[in-house]
Amino acid sequence: MRIRTHVIGCAVLLPFAAGASQQWKVSSGDTTMTLYTSMLRDLGLEVVNLRQTGTPMPDAESPVGFAVAPSSDLEFQVQGGALKEFLKGSLRHQGGFDLRWEGRNYSFQNFEIRFRDVRDPHTLYVQVGKDAVAYLEYAQVRFDRSRSLFELGGMDVRLAPELARRMGRPELGGQIIGMMHVNAVAKMVAGDPNDPAPQPSSALGGDARAMGVKDVMLWNVGSLTALGRMGTFPNGVNGLAMSTTSCNVGTENIPWFAPMDERHPVIAQQLYRLKDGRLEQIGIAWVKHGFLSTNSSGCGTCQNPGSGNWLGVRCTDTYGASLNGSRTWLGPRDEINPLTGRWTCRGSYFAGYQDDCVDRRGGSFNPVEHRLEVLDADLNVPGALFFMEAYYISQDDFDRYNNAGWRSVNASWTGSNWSFTNQSAQTQGPVILSWGDMRNIAIPSDEGDAIVAVRVLDLGGGNFNYDYAVYVHTVDRQVESFAVPIAPGTNVTNLSFRDIDQNPNNDWRATVAGDHIVWEGEPFGQQGANPIKYGIMYNFRFNADRAPVNAFTGLGLHKPGVMTAIQALSRTPAQAGLVNAQTAEVLMGQLISGGVANLLFSDNRYMTVGAIRPTELNRPSVEVELTAVSPTQTPSSMSFTLETASDGNPVRSRISLFNYNTGQWEVVDERNGTGGDTTITVNVSGNPARFVQSGTGEMKARIGYVDFGVTFIAWGGRFDKAFWIVN
């Protein structure tokens, strides 16, 4: 079995003087272990005869410590100040523990960490006497010559197949049992004392101040692993995590400083289920805070920056499942702004929610909390396929989609825990971009990206099932409502809503209005608010007796701001020929609130524009230009409808359409404005094709108000709905 290891500051990537080298030997230290005792109990295994002999890392989760024995003889070669290769020997330990199964003890006492092949750092394993008892995965190897410190960090400890067979439990071969971290002191025993200090191989330099592009890519996601569970099958809950590898595919080093420094990425982990064509999210975790880059090879020629505080260009960094599930590094999602990639230390969970930036991490946890929590009931679904998804969020990231990716996995219950096996190659981007009949990013995207996907199933007899998934990728303001247009007279049945939690009290309410269906949660600041946050997906479903057409759906934003909604094109049971505006630009006046997405439905969620007195006669004081795309460039009929009101008096409302044949605006309606909402429908006379641009299908309209003697300063216009019908 090939064990995955990642070396920080690998010397083959750093320049060094020809022939200069040193030989170092580990002399002392401590190894910290976190044993997953709850999960081991579920497997029928018990940790007994625990003998702690060392000082564990204080910030580790439920740590135990074992001293590195003075007889350790692990030696390695250093060139250019960086660890180049291991030479011989092992790390011997004092103390340990036993695993008890059916009255018999299996020893981890006085264990050694060895290499099956000292020339291959991917072959680390744990040995007791002459027997292999565990292997170590995703080791982060670090050597700091200036402080004579050697580390093997963040290793997943997995039961050796040899031990599993001796126990009569061969199915436990490869079962994760804990996490291990070695902190040791080394001393030089041979070589050139004048070996030069390491120099960054990249012109960017170790401080990464060069200007360029920062681009974190999810290079690999894998090893979905159960780290703990609570309850009895099939009614329990599981704490999972996955391994992730990042690669810097940009041109500038990326900050990777440990908390409480704010300059580091975080990793979101999600799990989805696909069953009978329905995609549902069944688990999320708190975000994992990055703390050290290994600057390993694997995605090109690594330009090592000479420090684990930066991820160098074309360098990789890997965290195993244990590290990505370690509560020491997991923090609340709400503390991250996904649009900027920024985490604020002051007042954070790591600071104990106090108004400073002092590290107060610690405490005890149950086996699943903060990890990727998934119910047995959501995994125990015959015929289902599952998708694990990881998502790196980093400041100033260039590409917001190559930092996410997914793989399909199978889930199987072993009788004591869940086991997962990869089924597909990795696909970049969120899972939702690979599901449904149509997928679109909502516009405008100034506030970040949200994605709407839909699957429409023909039920026969003129009836259709509409299945929508709404996922927030980088919208920090979150989404609190979702609306779908329907044609007049549409019969809607079987409305349903699904979120990620198990609390029915915060489910969104569904309402069928005259021209749309809307699901909405509690508004910002209200108890029970349950908006869609980044990395989270909700489902909305119904049946309708109308075939699908393309039309915009609406997404209401949760946190306060000028723009209150965004829209995404989808398949809907809307009226045939319905065309909504794609942009709404204020030409005259001041935007007070709302935007183009507020013009989708008659719902009293307005686009509001304050009036500005024009400098020309008969010019509007409020004017908004709409653009849209016609479904045909040779329409036989066209109408334009506007629902609007103004608190100015006297004013005239005006609607103009752009004539592409003459290059001029045509006023198609002008009338006295009203204080209450008025719906105006203009049926275009003559050839409607003059209002459609040849080649692009573009259409433009201007809507607004002309001041005819308003005697007060503060007034404006509001617009509730605007659309074309083109056939």
Which tens digit of pLDDT belongs to each residue from 300-336? 999 999 889 999 999 999 999 999 999 999 999 999 9
Residues 180 and 235 in one domain: no
- Tell me the torsion sign for CA atoms 690, 694, 697, 702: negative
> Which alpha helices (H) appear in 523-668, and where do they start and end?
none
Q: What is the pLDDT of residue 82?
A: 80
Q: What is the pLDDT of residue 616?
A: 78
For residues 196 and 17, give the distance between their C-alpha atoms in angstroms, rounded to a whole number. 7
Residue 19 has pLDDT above 70, yes or no: no
- Span 546-575, pLDDT tens digits: 999 999 999 999 999 999 999 999 999 999
For residues 659 and 69, give the distance between their C-alpha atoms in angstroms, rounded to a whole number. 87
Q: What is the pLDDT of residue 196?
A: 72
Residue 5 has pLDDT above 50, yes or no: no
Cβ burial 251-290 (10 Å sphere, 16+ → b, else e)? bbbbbbbebbeebbbbbbbbbbbbeeebbbbbbbbbbbbb
> Can you tell me the mean pLDDT for 266-294?
97
266: nearest Cα among 450, 601, 535, 549: 535
Specify the range with the lowest mean pLDDT, choosing from 205-219, 313-327, 591-605.
205-219
For residues 2 and 139, give the distance between their C-alpha atoms in angstroms, rounded to a whole number. 12
- Span 644-665, pLDDT tens digits: 999 999 999 999 999 999 999 9
8 A C-beta contact, residue 323 and residue 138: yes
Q: Whole-number mean pLDDT of the chain?
A: 93
8 A C-beta contact, residue 5 and residue 243: no
> Is pLDDT larger for residue 145 or for residue 688?
688
For residues 139 and 351, give the distance between their C-alpha atoms in angstroms, rounded to a whole number. 28
Residues 90 and 130 in one domain: yes
Q: What is the pLDDT of residue 615?
A: 76
Residues 342 and 453 in one domain: no
> pLDDT band for position 606 (50/70/90)?
very high
Residues 194 and 291 in one domain: no
546: nearest Cα among 513, 510, 572: 572
Residues 163 and 116 in one domain: yes
8 A C-beta contact, residue 593 and residue 585: no
What share of the chain has pLDDT > 90, as a percent? Answer: 85
- Span 448-497, pLDDT tens digits: 999 999 999 999 999 999 999 999 999 999 999 999 999 999 999 999 99
Q: What is the pLDDT of residue 81?
A: 81
Q: Domain boundary residue among 396, 411, 434?
A: 434
Q: What is the pLDDT of residue 211?
A: 55
> pLDDT band for position 195 (50/70/90)?
confident
229 class by beta-carbon count within 10 Å (0-12 exposed, 13-18 middle, 19+ buried): buried
Structure-block tokens of residue 576: 């045939």
267: nearest Cα among 227, 316, 221, 310: 221
> Is pLDDT larger for residue 391 or for residue 617?
391
Q: What is the amino acid identity at position 297?
A: S
Q: What is the pLDDT of residue 122?
A: 65
> pLDDT band for position 9 (50/70/90)?
very low
Q: What is the pLDDT of residue 197?
A: 63
Structure-block tokens of residue 460: 């026969």
- Span 235-251, pLDDT tens digits: 999 999 999 999 999 99
Run of H or E residues at 322: helix 321-324
8 A C-beta contact, residue 74 and residue 90: yes
Residues 182 and 210 in one domain: no
Run of H or E residues at 642: strand 638-646
- Span 38-54, pLDDT tens digits: 999 999 999 999 999 99
Q: What is the pLDDT of residue 8?
A: 39
What are the angstrom distances between the C-alpha of 51 and each of 55, 101, 315? Answer: 12, 19, 39
Q: How many CB atoms lie within 10 A of CB 114?
A: 18
Q: What is the pLDDT of residue 6?
A: 44
Residues 89 and 219 in one domain: no
For residues 588 and 456, give the distance between their C-alpha atoms in angstroms, rounded to a whole number. 41
For residues 556 and 545, give the distance between their C-alpha atoms in angstroms, rounded to a whole number. 26
- Could you tell me the residue range of the domain that residue 422 belongs to? 203-434
Residues 108 and 41 in one domain: yes
Residues 315 and 430 in one domain: yes
Q: What is the pLDDT of residue 141?
A: 86
**pTM of model > 0.75:** yes
Q: How many CB atoms lie within 10 A of CB 2?
A: 10
- 451: CATH: 2.60.40.1170
Residue 3 has pLDDT above 70, yes or no: no
Residues 482 and 624 in one domain: no
Run of H or E residues at 42: helix 37-42
For residues 77 and 140, give the distance between their C-alpha atoms in angstroms, rounded to a whole number. 17
Q: Domain boundary residue among 146, 173, 199?
A: 199
Number of domains in the chain: 4
Q: How many CB atoms lie within 10 A of CB 592?
A: 15
Q: What is the pLDDT of residue 711?
A: 80
- Span 351-363, pLDDT tens digits: 999 999 999 998 8
Q: What is the pLDDT of residue 346?
A: 96
- Tell me the torsion sign for CA atoms 344, 348, 351, 353: positive
For residues 302 and 253, give the distance between their C-alpha atoms in angstroms, rounded to a whole number. 11
- Span 73-126, pLDDT tens digits: 999 999 888 888 889 999 999 999 999 999 999 999 999 999 887 666 568 999
Residues 249 and 391 in one domain: yes
First to last CA, the chain: 64
Cβ burial 697-713 (10 Å sphere, 16+ → b, else e)? bbbbbbbbbbbeebeee
Q: What is the pLDDT of residue 118?
A: 64
Q: Domain boundary residue among 544, 559, 575?
A: 575
> Can you tell me the mean pLDDT for 120-141?
89
Structure-block tokens of residue 225: 């692993």
48 class by beta-carbon count within 10 Å (0-12 exposed, 13-18 middle, 19+ buried): exposed
8 A C-beta contact, residue 98 and residue 177: no
Residue 55 has pLDDT above 50, yes or no: yes
535: nearest Cα among 313, 278, 332: 332
For residues 299 and 14, give the distance between their C-alpha atoms in angstroms, rounded to a whole number. 16
Q: What is the pLDDT of residue 206?
A: 38
- Span 366-390, pLDDT tens digits: 999 999 999 999 999 999 999 999 9
For residues 483 and 505, give the distance between their C-alpha atoms in angstroms, rounded to a whole number. 21
Residues 541 and 445 in one domain: yes
8 A C-beta contact, residue 548 and residue 456: yes
Any idea what DSSP says for residue 522?
Answer: P
